[in-house]
Chains A and B, each alone.
Chain A
Amino acid sequence: MSFRLWIKIVSLLFISLSLLTVFGCQQGKKQDRVCVIYASVDQNFSEPVLQHFQEKKKIRILPVYDVEATKTTGLVNRLIAEKDRPQADVFWSGEFAQTILLKEKDVLAPYLSPNAKNIPDLYKDPEGYWTGFSARARVLIVNTDLLTSQEYPASIFDLLQPRWPAEKIGIAYPVFGTTATHAAALYAFLGAEKARNFFQELYDRGVRVADGNATVRDLVSSGQLIMGLTDTDDACGAKRRGKPVDLVFLDQEENGLGTLLIPNTVAMVNGAPHHEEARILIDFLLSEDVEQRLIEAGWTHVPLRPLNIRQDCLENMDIKGMNISLQEVYQSFEYSKKELLEIFIR
């Protein structure tokens, strides 16, 4: 047998085996009842919920999880890029701005879940393209070794006070993730000028701008910072692990601003390949049982409907949210990001 012929036979065999493997995998998959979900929620919290669904409903869940390190450029952009030939059935996000963006990009399909009836309209899309449930909140995490409870700030504007050294206060870049959403909410609530001045002063003071909310949490937990703005899941996680930290909800007085509540959102993908399974999964995620599980696990802390559940880390705390609609926050998003990019990334 000549060398050339031998090589050709080997390469043909290799190509045939590769194709058989790939097709074989596809055939195997087709036999199950499946639902594909893209989840921008920490895998530690979302995975057990999805596994529970899988066991209960006998529908195989195929998840793709996002990571914070990609600066929210991961799954949302994947969904947009896949718009003409969608692969996902359901999108579950830990916040709402990216979900509203997906609606505007025609990536989502309307679905009104019967389980969302007792969720206030403020947290639902009027046309049913997405539904909010179980919220996290923005919170100030403080290091209890470095600050006594009498010294805790009460308002977000206290972060501008010289009483607390700026280099010991942390925030994440306000152009990514929930910090960007918080900033957009402040823009919407206070007006562009006041909000811009606030962030400009914060920057000029020299507060520590960290890579993400998790980094703020770590820097405060380790004592490198006295305090920082983050989300309740980060702060409660540190508290649960026994770190010397406490949570302070800002602007809680009667006429105060309140803190931003960030609901999870779930939506059906337009042209979802497994439409029926997607409906079942959305109904499941919007059930009170899941809300309870998420709160108990420590992912969310504020139920959006009358449920008598409270996460242990927030015991005896009543949280006053900002009186602003999610749509209003979203509308400030683009503008606030553009301005804050100019202020913080230079």
Chain B
Amino acid sequence: MVYNRIDTHFFSSRRFFYWLGTVLFSVIVLGPFILLLISTTKDLFRVGAEWLSLAIPSGRRLDIFLRSLGLALSVAIGAMIVGIFLASFLWQKRGRLWLYIRWFVLLLIAIPPYVHALAWMSTVGFIEGGLRSFGLSVLPFRGVFASWWVQLMALLPISIGMSLLGLETVNAEFIEASRMMKPDFETFKKVIFPLGAPLILAGGGIVFLLSLTDYSVPSLFQVNVYSLEIFAEFSASNEPGRAFLLAVPLLLITFIVMTFSQSRLRNAALKPVRLSKQENMSMSWPSWFLAGQRLGIMILAFQAFVPLMALMVKTGSLETFYKTGVSAYREIGFTFWNSILAALICLPLAFPVALNLGRKDRSGKFWWILVTLPLAIPAPLIGIGLILLFNRPILGFLYNSPVMIVFASLARFLPLAALIFLAQLRRIDPLLLDAARILQKNPLKTWIYIRLPMIFPGIIAAMCIMFIFSAGELGATLIVIPPGISTLTIRIYNYLHYGASEVVAGLCLMMSAAALFAAAAAALILHSWKRLVSLWRAKHS
């Protein structure tokens, strides 16, 4: 059990951190979930079994639920297909420029899906206007297709990132061996893709869940989805228990989706893999696959170009951009530090959980359930759960502090960080670890120069995702934010309602700039670290 060996080796002498991380993860992520469960159970005893019917969708609710599943599934499939084409293209490309492009792909996660929707509505409106002037008419941009397209655009970076990570984990030696005997595409189909599939599927699973729990985009295009039903119920009844019960089908679906990817991911994680080599990979693809890659590149260009252009046009001038920044400097600063803190804290908390997720025994399966279920809980309910957990006399010092915003981000997105770490653990070469353990003189140096570089890409990826998602978090933050403080996202949504589109556009551009800064900093750190390690190795070899 190589994976368990990694586990033991990494943490047997550092049980303190392992348990500290696991306990804190349990408190912050599982605490709100468990308290909501207890509160709902109490409600059920108080009200009777009448509420239980909420947990089983029927009639109108079943229709909406099935429609939501269909939409989320089609978004996930679309994102996976485009993600695979694009990842297979980017995967071959090495060098600094391509490294930057890879990080750039992640950037637009920072723009709220709602803003993607507004950008696409404006763009389509502009095209419609042009076509009308030639006497042509076009179909209105709304309904399921519009909703699918905008969600695809908003969530595509996740799928590309995970697909790329999946392809990167494939052992280069397997590829080389296969290429000697089979054509390139056969190698891709029979070796690379199956080995990368677990992470590609995990990416699809995350996209599926995010699409399933988002109501903002579908409702803008007049598509009623199940998450809107949950919000409508919560808004009408103000009973978290009723909303929680309505969310039960989403919990079950999350569990099924994650169990499906779990079985593959966990098996794959137990196989020893070596780090893939860094040289360029020149593959010859069939023409239809090349066409798919080109289509993927076009879609990616649209995905980045349309919202950024729409935002720049709406912002109008540099002066507006500057003024917007000055007026929101406190929110920008606060969001930036809050996101950095969340990104830093996620590391020691998510890593032990990733190790738990990789366990082959029953506890590993149990951890998968515990980690993935909170992903399906609507954000305001997580906020309510955090209030139940932290608004107590003994914890008052925490509840009234900005730390609660960090906790809200962690409660929502730590499971994603743990999944990314798990993916990274697959890339650790056990032979190298064994050699390091045998030859080590100073455990600290071994850890810094041998082990840390191996998990470094995972650390950076988890931090970036955490930073970007924390910056955009709204639902749970609003419920726990301490009085007197605001975040950039809250300000964006305030202005969205007010109708100041130039301010909204300027603020969204700033959010993208912050994400760009985070990605650039991450790339720089990664690059410097690699150089440092190679210099150190050269000196001591």
Could you list which residues of chain A lie within 8 angstroms of chain B, going by C-beta atoms? 3-4, 6-8, 11, 22-23, 25-26, 36-38, 42-44, 60-78, 80-82, 84-85, 87-88, 101, 105, 167, 173, 175-176, 180, 208-212, 214-215, 217-218, 221-222, 224, 234, 237-238, 241, 334, 337-338, 341-342, 344-346
A–B pairs, 10, beta carbons within 8 Å: A22-B398, A36-B483, A61-B484, A69-B493, A75-B478, A87-B400, A214-B497, A222-B125, A345-B60, A345-B64
Give bound CA distance, A215 to B121, whole Å.
12
Chain A residues within 8 Å of B20, by CB: 11
Number of interface residues of B (CB under 8 A): 66
A7-B17, A43-B494, A222-B125 known; A71-B232 Cβ under 8 A: yes
Q: CB-nearest residue of chain A relative to B385?
A: A81
Give bound CA distance, A15 to B144, whole Å.
50
Q: Is the CB of A214 within 8 A of B391?
A: no
Q: Is the CB of B220 within 8 A of A215?
A: yes
Instruction: Give the residues from 371 to 407 in chain B that come closer than 8 angstroms, CB to CB, to chain A.
Output: 380, 383-384, 387-388, 391-393, 396-403
Give bound CA distance, A173 to B388, whole Å.
30
Chain B residues within 8 Å of A221, by CB: 499
Q: Distance in Å from the Cβ of A215 to the closest Cβ of chain B? A: 7
Q: CB-nearest residue of chain B relative to A15?
A: B20
Given contacts A73-B234, A77-B380, 9 further A-B contacts (CB under 8 A): A3-B444, A26-B401, A44-B494, A44-B498, A69-B474, A78-B383, A85-B391, A210-B222, A345-B64
Chain B residues within 8 Å of A180, by CB: 235
Q: Is the CB of A217 within 8 A of B479?
A: no
Chain A residues within 8 Å of B480, by CB: 78
Chain A residues within 8 Å of B490, by CB: 65, 67
Give bound CA distance, A91 to B400, whole Å.
18
Give bound CA distance, A262 to B496, whole Å.
21
Q: Is the CB of B232 within 8 A of A341?
A: yes
Q: Is the CB of B474 within 8 A of A67?
A: yes
Q: CB-nearest residue of chain B relative to A4?
A: B13
B26 on interface, CB distance cutoff 8 Å: no
Which of B125, B383, B499 is within 8 Å of A241, CB to CB?
B499
Instruction: Give the residues from 201 to 236 in chain B that come closer than 8 angstroms, CB to CB, to chain A.
Output: 216, 219-220, 222, 224, 228-229, 231-236
B186 on interface, CB distance cutoff 8 Å: no
Give bound CA distance, A221 to B483, whole Å.
35
Q: Is the CB of B474 within 8 A of A175?
A: no
In the A-B complex, the 10 residue pairs with the smallest Cβ-Cβ separation, listed nearest first, are A62-B483, A62-B484, A67-B493, A337-B236, A81-B387, A36-B483, A68-B497, A43-B494, A71-B231, A345-B224
Give bound CA distance, A184 to B327, whole Å.
39
The tally of CB-CB contacts under 8 A between chains A and B is 174
Q: Distance in Å from the Cβ of B496 to the closest Cβ of chain A? A: 7
Q: Distance in Å from the Cβ of A13 to the closest Cβ of chain B? A: 15
Q: CB-nearest residue of chain B relative to A241?
A: B499
Q: Distance in Å from the Cβ of A4 to the closest Cβ of chain B? A: 7
Q: Is the CB of A105 within 8 A of B238?
A: yes
Q: Is the CB of A338 within 8 A of B236?
A: yes
B362 on interface, CB distance cutoff 8 Å: no
Which of A26, A75, A208, A217 is within 8 Å of B397, CB to CB?
A26
Chain B residues within 8 Å of A81, by CB: 240, 384, 387-388, 391, 479
Which of A82, A209, A218 is within 8 Å of B499, CB to CB?
A218
Q: Is the CB of A78 within 8 A of B479?
A: yes
B481 on interface, CB distance cutoff 8 Å: yes
Chain A residues within 8 Å of B235, by CB: 71-73, 175-176, 180, 337
Q: CB-nearest residue of chain B relative to A71?
A: B231
Q: Distance in Å from the Cβ of A154 to the closest Cβ of chain B? A: 27
Q: Is the CB of B498 within 8 A of A237?
A: yes
B320 on interface, CB distance cutoff 8 Å: no
Q: Is the CB of A8 within 8 A of B16?
A: yes
Q: CB-nearest residue of chain A relative to B486?
A: A65
Give bound CA distance, A173 to B224, whole Å.
10
